[in-house]
Amino acid sequence: RSASHASPNIVRWLSSKSLADEKIEDITELYATARDEFEMAMEETEKMTVYAEEDRKAAREELDKVQEAYRSIVDGPDQQLAEEVQRRIGQRIRELEQGVAAMEELAQNQD
């Protein structure tokens, strides 16, 4: 049998798998940018520099982009895709959310 005669379940699994990889790659790119912004903002916040507020704003904006991309998948119609994305990158996103929240709290306590 050739690949064109694969059962529909196999074809669906293969296409879902590559779609999951593609979506995870997209979110991971956004995550990397957000993580970099967070690390810079945290450093500036801890040092209480004049750049801290703008860096926190940039970190929050990048986190919002990650959350939007992540939620569009997790809350989307493809439950199998949602579960795969949650399983593979959900924890990292939650950790970044917690880090940004802690940084914002630290900044409020510095005022």
Expressed in angstroms, the distance from the first to the final Cα of the chain is 70
Distances (CA, A) of 84 to 47, 67, 94: 39, 16, 16
Q: For the chain, what is the radius of gyration of the CA atoms?
A: 19
- Looking at the structure of the chain, the number of domains it has is 1
Query: Is residue 17, in this structure, part of any structural domain at all?
Result: no
Does residue 2 fall inside a structural domain? Answer: no
Residue 102 lies in a domain: yes
Within a domain: 45: yes
pTM value surpassing 0.85: no
Q: Is 15 a member of any domain?
A: no
Classify residue 8: in a domain, yes or no.
Answer: no
The pLDDT of residue 12: 52
| pLDDT tens readout for residues 37-70 | 999 999 999 999 999 999 999 999 999 999 999 9
Domain with 80, as residue range(s), is 23-110
